[in-house]
Chain A
């Protein structure tokens, strides 16, 4: 299915996806370890003055977590979509390319030299993400050109190397920190305080908006770097901009919620199946679709083994890994 990316079509698709997102959020608000009837959920949202248990559960536990899932889901999906276009590789994704691991190393390093995981510096995660991204990109170049398989291999190798680095750092941390980090590494949307989200939200929205500015350039870049240059695209500038913004999104997402895998891989493909390859259309679709999927995944994580909770990264990985294998088989043929 392909729509032309007229402003009207973009608006319609974004509106439909937003509506779906709102519905998902409403459904998710009613689900959890504690059963709350719809009327109580509605009451908690409609009358902010009340302070019943239901109101606390809905407004202070479920809602912030859902909002964070929306932000992180959108961030990872948009990062994945732009990386896939930039690298002209359908398997590119912050997780597969090791960028999430780099961000995690940065965040743990910040913890290691002082501070706590809740305050794991987004800056350290960001720096880790950028260093890893540049490193993988340099490794993946072959004879001056990006080679798809070399790049994926470089990413996988880097990811496993960084996992070893993380393990090494974990052995030097106290047992109690390790227990916290283990959950954080598997993706955990429950621990970010609302105050931190006030910083994360504008940063993520700005970075997504920034990437949207490059949407047309990404379309042209899909033809190849040389062709894009012939068509008047400043390839170096686009590459740099998209790299930085995608790393920023990944770094922020990982620092807030740990490593949530496969979302950045899965959502762009689903988005292309839905609306085609035009990034003016695809980017908003991926952002909203990623938000929807992560809210759903986290709802599952909260409820599947209630009252205990699953790490949301485990949920996305279980769903995402088979899709990754399917894509690998398809592109190898």
Chain B
């Protein structure tokens, strides 16, 4: 078996995933823009209450760390035993790390991944390894009462292993801009920061609405987002990146492509003829815009001829609280006349 060969065959996607961004997404349906319904405050008959108390007492003897907890379904559909007041959090993905900080819980974060780089303090937290291959024993040693992750970055196996070790893992998932906001709100409820989450989400929503007004009546350029260039991989219609592009008043050229991260051949690209080409500004993405212009066929693309190739910050690849920053940045790129001036955002 040539594992190396197989790896080489998939390296673009994997390498990018290992770099942390963008997450390889799986379409996960968010049931609605609202947080999923959960059995909060269920009334038990008194007999059951007694039984539950006995059970809880037994459990608390067995597991000294276990505080009062409730079982909820997370956004991936897993049943998770979430403690009432989690105060030792481990984040298994950069976007959940950002959410934790945005909810003002940075001090309760006891560990994150090697790729959690925002806010800068996140870099100084004890690291548990990469998203796809974290060290279980590091996680256990950090004594978390709740782990946070996302199926877009973490492996199912990791979730299974944590479950066996008795560490609850709450998974959030976001395949749209609205879904990202819903994830933040949901996480706020789980972490006991519901009102903070609500105001954060309201503020983000206001910025999204402002963008929507602003781009009204503007021409909609066709946009190619280059996830990887060799081979050319772009974003599928069901990804949050495509959603941000649409929200910024662009048309992702991949509307009729299938899958989350489809490959695109030159033959498919040429007739689409994008007006704008976006490239993520990450360390693993080395080529310059000039190098793209020298690729066969590219010099005939409208975006190349009109020099509308732009590097955008990698925030757009992270479905977290800063996704709206990426949206506003994109508005300026797609509609130069509408560029947000410094300080105008708030």
Contact = CB atoms under 8 A, between A and B. Distances in A.
Interface in A8-44: 32-34
A206 B10 CA distance: 38
Nearest to B9: A167
B26 A175 contact: yes
B6 interface: yes
Contacts of A176: 24, 26, 151-152, 155-156
B107 interface: no
Interface stretch (B138-146, B280-288, B290-298): B138-146
A234 interface: no
Contacts, number: 136
A42 to B, nearest CB: 17
Contact of B157 (A33, A180, A313, A317): A180
Nearest to B164: A193
Q: Is the interface of A mostly helix, strand, loop or mixed?
A: helix
A311 B24 CA distance: 20
B157 A308 contact: no
A32 B137 contact: yes
Contact of A166 (B6, B62, B259): B6
B129 interface: yes
A163 B164 contact: no
B3 A186 contact: yes
Interface residues of A, number: 51
Nearest to B130: A308
Interface in B42-95: 62-64
Contacts of B152: 176
A333 interface: no
Contact of B6 (A117, A185, A193, A261): A185
B137 A61 contact: yes
B132 A307 contact: no
Contacts of A159: 1-2
B133 interface: yes
Nearest to A57: B137
B140 A53 contact: yes
Contacts of B14: 179, 182
A141 interface: no
A261 B26 contact: no
Given A176-B151, A308-B133, A162 B13 contact: no
A193 B10 CA distance: 28
A183 interface: yes
Contact of A180 (B3, B141, B155): B155
A6 interface: no
Interface in B1-44: 1-7, 9-10, 13-14, 17, 24-26
A62 B127 CA distance: 19
Given A190-B161, A191-B161, A308-B133, A175 B261 contact: yes
Given A57-B140, A190-B136, A308-B129, 4 more contacts: A32-B137, A33-B137, A175-B261, A306-B129
28 contacts: A32-B135, A33-B129, A34-B137, A53-B141, A57-B137, A62-B137, A101-B2, A104-B1, A118-B156, A118-B160, A160-B5, A162-B1, A163-B6, A167-B9, A170-B10, A176-B151, A178-B13, A179-B14, A179-B17, A179-B155, A190-B161, A259-B1, A261-B1, A306-B129, A306-B135, A307-B138, A308-B133, A309-B129
What are the nearest 3 A-B pairs in CB distance?
A101-B1, A307-B135, A33-B135
